[in-house]
Amino acid sequence: AFNSNITGSGTTLTLGANQVTYTGTGSFTDTLTLNTTFDGAAKSGGNILIKSGSTLDLSGVSTLALVVTATNFDMNNISPDTKYTVISAETAGGLKPTPKENVKITINNDNRFVNFTFDASTLTLFAEDIAADVIDKDFAPGGPLANIPNAANIKKSLELMEDAPNGSDARQAFNNFGLMTPLQEADATTHLMQDVVKPSDTIAAVNNQVVASNISSNITALNARMD
């Protein structure tokens, strides 16, 4: 908690994953930088809450620079409510915002399957699962996996793993693939499949059996390859 009137110019605040409550009358000018962490497991992040009767005036801020580190993001825990607001007020008028065109955001994220969108008007960050789009682009003509051996079967296996129930071994392994490069992902999938499955009209069913029967015994080996 911060209970005092405050003014600042060219200020950097490091919030981490903590909520800071503010009581008082404050204002910032020039550049205001907020370093925060967005925790996917907790569905929350570092933020400032302006208490009732207090005001924080950012109308004189020329650049509101938000630097967000995304952590603990898992395909199993992303949902429509995976979002957080960086600065909010308990009462209307508590926050006097900078124009939204002055808000600049940088997101440090190491999972290729997770994308973030930001609403500058409400200072709210949203997470979304984009795994299906990433797979399609990886295997599309000109993509990094378009011409690899056994590409059709590997793509189908990835799609089946993506569709597996949340919390399953297949879904968790698929989440780990988001931390890999496309070629590492393809190599790991090949090891999980073990058997070479020829393209056919029944490829989905066959691949489903292969992945389901082998994935549990191969998770340990997969994790070892990631270390």
Q: Quick one: pLDDT band at residue 196, thresholds 50, 70, 90?
A: very low
186-194 average pLDDT score: 80
Q: Is the pLDDT of residue 123 over 60?
A: yes
- Percentage of residues of the chain with pLDDT beyond 90: 65
CB 190 within 8 A of CB 180: no
pLDDT, one tens digit per residue, over 153-162 is: 999 999 999 9
Residue 46 has pLDDT above 50, yes or no: yes
* Residue 223: pLDDT band with limits 50, 70, 90: low
Per-residue confidence band for 189, with pLDDT thresholds at 50, 70 and 90 = confident
The predicted model gives 173-199 an average pLDDT of: 79
Average pLDDT, the chain: 86
Q: What is the per-residue pLDDT across 77-117, written as a single tens digit (0 to 9) for each?
A: 888 788 899 999 999 999 999 999 999 999 999 899 999 99
Q: What beta strand segments (E) does the chain contain? A: 2-3, 6-16, 19-23, 25-39, 44-45, 47-50, 55-71, 83-85, 87-89, 95-96, 103-108, 114-119, 124-129
- pLDDT bin (cut points 50, 70, 90) of residue 177 is very high
In the chain, domain spans: 2-129, 131-226
Q: What is the pLDDT of residue 198?
A: 47
